Amino acid sequence: QRQTSDAPFFMIPTAPEGGANNNSPACKIEVPERLTVSHGALVRNGLTDRCICLPVREAVDAEILLVHSEEYLEAVKQTPHMTLEDLKEFTLQYGDVYFHPNIYHCAKLAVGSALQLVDSVLMGKVKNGMALVRPPGHHSMRSAANGFCVFNNVAIAAQYAKQKYGVKRILIVDWDIHHGQGVQYCFEDDPSVLYFSWHRYEHQKFWPNLKDSDYDIVGKGEGAGFNINVPWNKVGMENSDYLSVFCHVLLPIAYEFCPDLVLVCAGFDSAIGDLEGEMCATPDIFAHLTYLLMNLAEGKLCAVLEGGYNLTSLAQSVCQTVQTLLGDPLPPLTNLTGPCRSTLESLQCVRAAHRQHWSCLRHAVDLPTFEISTIRIKSSGEENKDEAEVWEEQKSPEEKIWPEPPKRVSPRVCSAVVLPDGVVCPDACERLSSSEDLGPHLLTLKKDFLKDADDSAVTALSRVFSLIDKMKNNEIRNGLALVGDAAMTMTCVVQHVAAEVDSRVFLVCVGNGNIPGHIIEDGKTLVVQISGEDTEEQGSKYYVPVCLKKGCTDTSGFAQAMFSLLLPLGYQHNPSLVLLVRMPGSGVCDIMWQQLTALLQSFAQGHTLVLLQEDDKACVGPTASILLGNPAPPLGQLPASLKEDAEAVERLRSRLQADWNLLLATAPENG
């Protein structure tokens, strides 16, 4: 593992010597060990060595006052000098918060650390980072501590970024299992800060039991549409539930918003094993949640720790997040069975509540709102719960066990290229040269595919095959080939890979061109083709032709297809190889192509092979940049997509959702 001077990330192990120990009045779960254990896990996994550790500092009054009132700050300032009795009394005026004589100091460090991180990211000293801090922040309000939180670290960071750097649009993603009502209140009328939170809600039966946390709270005045609440009305939510909310709500809206900075309220009480959350998403989901946000805002992402109380689950989740920020390949997610009914109800409600504010939702096929309110009443009744469900709920959540996420190893080579002589590409790419041993490949190639092909095509193809074999052995992460005939190469590659047991290919084809039927008949290869050609009637479970009216030139239609079709399909297919093909004359613009290439890195542990046709030389550089791990440039604030395109994508979702239920975004009518 290399230690670079421009290490891409940063983190802060806080907890001063002696730690802020909230033991009197005691908080049993928001404890200093949360930081020491997380930090220890980072060290053990060799991750701290790859990070830049920034110094912490205390926030100054003016910074705290960006979000909090003077009266409140003055009151908190007194706490280090109070007797334990007075502290107890002081604590009682707030909800679920505990003041230790040391907490004011820690809270100032927590805010200051978040600001140090924002400074470093916005000044370009680091690409992204995570601040490991406590106490957490997202529940604290202008004049009140709440839910273990004293100062609102992330809200202050957002105001600071706006004020000091003139950042125009900030996305705050709150994946903690509690609703960050403090963040919501801070920005509810502010259209420059888009706040997204999912949270355990159980129809208001779960703390903090606020009507303000429901899906119909979308922001006020100018800020209408810039507050997104996704209530979890059942416990036990899994990876599929989390991913479906990202695909069908957060990502389309976030890309339409086009933030300049992403802040994450990174609470890990939403992971399995946490007694507060009682959810079942595994720690490796955070690798994916993190990655899916890393191509917004040119990768400027600051994660700030919030909750997370199961020390094992917390430490694993922190490592997954940090490893993703460092650019390691993503772990495969298995067992994605699709969202549960309760999630679908929430999805449908949130999408309906926001359809008037976001054009990506305008043409969504949703139930009318009056039926949605019925859903709420219907499912809040306990009466029709079956016995299994009741037993499920009584089962103690501490019994939950899950395997430790497998190690994520980066292949020695990140990107290998097969290019004709004279075509340039970044130095960091490894060229597969003619000195490679082509023996065994050449023979099979000649026999199977290339009876009459010329020698240079045979050589190129055999290099492509050897690239694929090296990906399979995890010697290379990804690859790019510039070939004379992209369509022919694509067919040969699919056939070559499908010949192996257990292989699954996700073929994403951009542009017009015939996909030979025989390559999609064995259930191993899932094909999505985005083009301007109307081939919709030929679709099947494994062939998904997306026809856009203006072809691939239309960014909004293309973006919608990426989030609501490509991502769910890719996740559910769980391929061992992604094959991304750019047909000549596809019309896709470079930044769209780069975003697509980047998002596809979520699958197959980053094993992507990109095929470009020879006249697309100019695309080698932009593609290689993404394959080497750079963030894709922003698409800009997306306009509304064409009605026809939006409807075509929705039609495909409806046709395919019985086979691929991660495509679902609405609740079946009487399930």
Per-residue contact flags (x/-) with Zn ion for residues 560 to 579, judged by CB under 5 A: --------------------
When the beta carbons of 269 and 650 are compared against Zn ion, the nearer one is: 269
Q: Candidates 145-153, 226-234, 413-421, 457-465: pick the segment binding ligand X5A (CB under 6 A).
A: 145-153
**Residue 148 interface partner, choices Zn ion, ligand X5A, none, CB cut-off 5-8 Å depending on type:** ligand X5A
With binding defined as CB under 5 A, does residue 278 bind Zn ion? Answer: no
Q: Is 413 helix (H, G, I), strand (E, B) or coil?
A: strand
When the beta carbons of 210 and 442 are compared against ligand X5A, the nearer one is: 210
Pair 48, 323: CB distance under 8 Å:
no
Per-residue contact flags (x/-) with Zn ion for residues 160 to 179, judged by CB under 5 A: ----------------x-x-
**Residue 96 interface partner, choices ligand X5A, Zn ion, none, CB cut-off 5-8 Å depending on type:** ligand X5A
Q: Candidates 69-77, 142-150, 163-171, 228-236: pick the segment binding ligand X5A (CB under 6 A).
A: 142-150
Considering the candidates 139, 248, 288, 496, report the single residue annotated as catalytic. 139
For 6, residues 6+ apart whose C-beta sits below 8 A from its C-beta are none
When the beta carbons of 174 and 256 are compared against Zn ion, the nearer one is: 174
Give the pair of three-digit tokens for residue 593.
Answer: 């192509």
The only residue of 32, 129, 136, 568 in contact with ligand X5A, by rule CB under 6 A: 136
Per-residue contact flags (x/-) with ligand X5A for residues 205 to 234, judged by CB under 6 A: --x---------------------------
* Least distance between Zn ion and beta carbon 615 (Å): 53
Angle at 88 between CA 85 and CA 91, to 5 degrees: 150
When the beta carbons of 200 and 504 are compared against ligand X5A, the nearer one is: 200
The only residue of 119, 174, 176, 190 in contact with ligand X5A, by rule CB under 6 A: 176
Pair 637, 312: CB distance under 8 Å:
no
Pair 265, 174: CB distance under 8 Å:
yes
User: Which candidate, 233, 192, 240, 216, places its Cα nearest to that of 351?
Assistant: 216
The only residue of 32, 225, 236, 307 in contact with ligand X5A, by rule CB under 6 A: 307
Q: Does the annotation mark 139 as catalytic? A: yes
Site residues (CB under 5 A) for Zn ion, limited to 169-228: 176, 178
When the beta carbons of 269 and 645 are compared against Zn ion, the nearer one is: 269
When the beta carbons of 207 and 402 are compared against ligand X5A, the nearer one is: 207
> 195 pairs with which residues across the strands?
172, 227
Q: Is 503 helix (H, G, I), strand (E, B) or coil?
A: coil
With binding defined as CB under 6 A, does residue 178 bind ligand X5A? Answer: yes
* Least distance between ligand X5A and beta carbon 176 (Å): 6
The only residue of 238, 306, 328, 345 in contact with ligand X5A, by rule CB under 6 A: 306
When the beta carbons of 306 and 554 are compared against ligand X5A, the nearer one is: 306
> 529 pairs with which residues across the strands?
509, 545
Per-residue contact flags (x/-) with Zn ion for residues 300 to 319, judged by CB under 5 A: -------x------------
Q: What is the CA radius of gyration of the chain?
A: 25
With binding defined as CB under 6 A, does residue 397 bind ligand X5A? Answer: no
With binding defined as CB under 6 A, does residue 182 bind ligand X5A? Answer: no
Pair 605, 392: CB distance under 8 Å:
no
Q: How far apart are CA 50 and CA 327, in angstroms?
A: 11
User: Which candidate, 265, 295, 307, 301, places its Cα nearest to that of 97?
Assistant: 307
- Residue 59 CB-density burial (10 A; 0-12 exposed, 13-18 middle, 19+ buried): buried
* Least distance between Zn ion and beta carbon 73 (Å): 24
Cα distances from 525 to residues 500, 512, 516, 658, in angstroms, run 12, 19, 12, 18
Cα distances from 274 to residues 96, 317, 388, 495, 594, in angstroms, run 18, 12, 22, 45, 37
**Residue 207 interface partner, choices ligand X5A, Zn ion, none, CB cut-off 5-8 Å depending on type:** ligand X5A
User: Which candidate, 64, 68, 62, places its Cα nearest to that of 144?
Assistant: 68
Q: Candidates 144-152, 347-355, 445-453, 630-638: pick the segment binding ligand X5A (CB under 6 A).
A: 144-152
Cα distances from 198 to residues 174, 277, 300, 315, 585, in angstroms, run 7, 11, 22, 21, 41
User: Which candidate, 274, 271, 276, places its Cα nearest to that of 287?
Assistant: 271
Q: How far apart are CA 324 and CA 316, in angstroms?
A: 12
**Residue 119 interface partner, choices ligand X5A, Zn ion, none, CB cut-off 5-8 Å depending on type:** none
Name the amino acid, one letter, at 133.
V
- Residue 93 CB-density burial (10 A; 0-12 exposed, 13-18 middle, 19+ buried): exposed
Give the pair of three-digit tokens for residue 256.
Answer: 């339409």
> 164 pairs with which residues across the strands?
none
The only residue of 33, 58, 96, 644 in contact with ligand X5A, by rule CB under 6 A: 96
Per-residue contact flags (x/-) with ligand X5A for residues 266 to 285, judged by CB under 6 A: -x-x----------------
* Least distance between ligand X5A and beta carbon 100 (Å): 16
User: Which candidate, 473, 460, 468, places its Cα nearest to that of 613?
Assistant: 460
When the beta carbons of 274 and 616 are compared against Zn ion, the nearer one is: 274
When the beta carbons of 30 and 260 are compared against ligand X5A, the nearer one is: 30
- What is the side-by-side strand order in the sheet with 170-174? 11-13, 128-132, 301-305, 261-266, 170-174, 193-200, 227-232
Name the amino acid, one letter, at 203.
H
When the beta carbons of 96 and 212 are compared against ligand X5A, the nearer one is: 96
User: Binding-site residue total for Zn ion (CB under 5 A)?
Assistant: 5
Q: Tell whether the torsion through CA atoms of 345, 347, 350 and 352 is positive or negative.
A: negative
The only residue of 63, 214, 238, 269 in contact with Zn ion, by rule CB under 5 A: 269
Per-residue contact flags (x/-) with ligand X5A for residues 554 to 573, judged by CB under 6 A: --------------------
* Least distance between ligand X5A and beta carbon 250 (Å): 20
The only residue of 34, 134, 139, 408 in contact with ligand X5A, by rule CB under 6 A: 139
Closest residue to Zn ion using C-beta atoms? 307
When the beta carbons of 86 and 398 are compared against Zn ion, the nearer one is: 398
With binding defined as CB under 6 A, does residue 147 bind ligand X5A? Answer: yes
Which residues would be at the binding site for Zn ion (CB under 5 A)? 176, 178, 267, 269, 307
Which residues would be at the binding site for ligand X5A (CB under 6 A)? 96, 136, 139, 147-149, 176, 178, 207, 267, 269, 306-307
Please list the active-site residues. Answer: 139
